[in-house]
Structure 1
C-alpha cells in the first residue's frame, strides 16, 4: 500500500496533534463557510434569474 504524505500534510497533522484546540476551531470555521443551510426562496430566485445559455458562446447574435 502507498503511504506517502507530503511535507505540508505531515506539518499540518503534527500541528493539529500539538494544538488540539485548533482542530475544534477548524471545525467551527468550516461550519461558517461550508455547512450552511440554503434558503430555498433565495435559491429559487437565483434559478429564476439565470439566463439561458447559447448553444455556441462565440457565435455573434
Structure 2
C-alpha cells in the first residue's frame, strides 16, 4: 500500500535537500514564533481568569 505524499511535500523535501542552509533559518523562525518558555504560574493565572461562555453566543437574552 502506497502512502500519499502531496506535490508540495515532495517539492519541500527536494528543496530542503538542495538548500540545507535553510534548516537554520527555519529553526530561527520557529523559535521566534512558537518555541517559547512555559511559565506554570502565568498559565494558572490565565486559567483562573477565563470567563464562561454562553452555550449559544448569538442569544440576546
TM-score (norm 2): 0.68
Aligned partners of 1:3, 1:46: CA distance in 2, in Å? Answer: 41
Corresponding residue for 2:19? 19
The Cα RMSD (Å) is 2.1
Distance (whole Å) between structure 2 residues aligned to residue 12 and residue 47 of structure 1: 38
2:43 corresponds to 1:37: no
Report the CA distance between 1:35 and its aligned residue.
Answer: 2.3
Can you give the 5+ residue segments of structure 1 that lack an aligned partner in the other structure?
Answer: none
SS in 1 for 2:42: helix
- Structure 2 unaligned segments of length 5 or more: list them: none
C-alpha distance in structure 1 between counterparts of 2:6 and 2:46, whole Å: 40
Deviates more, 1:3-12 or 1:25-34: 25-34
Q: Greater helix share, 1 or 2?
A: 1
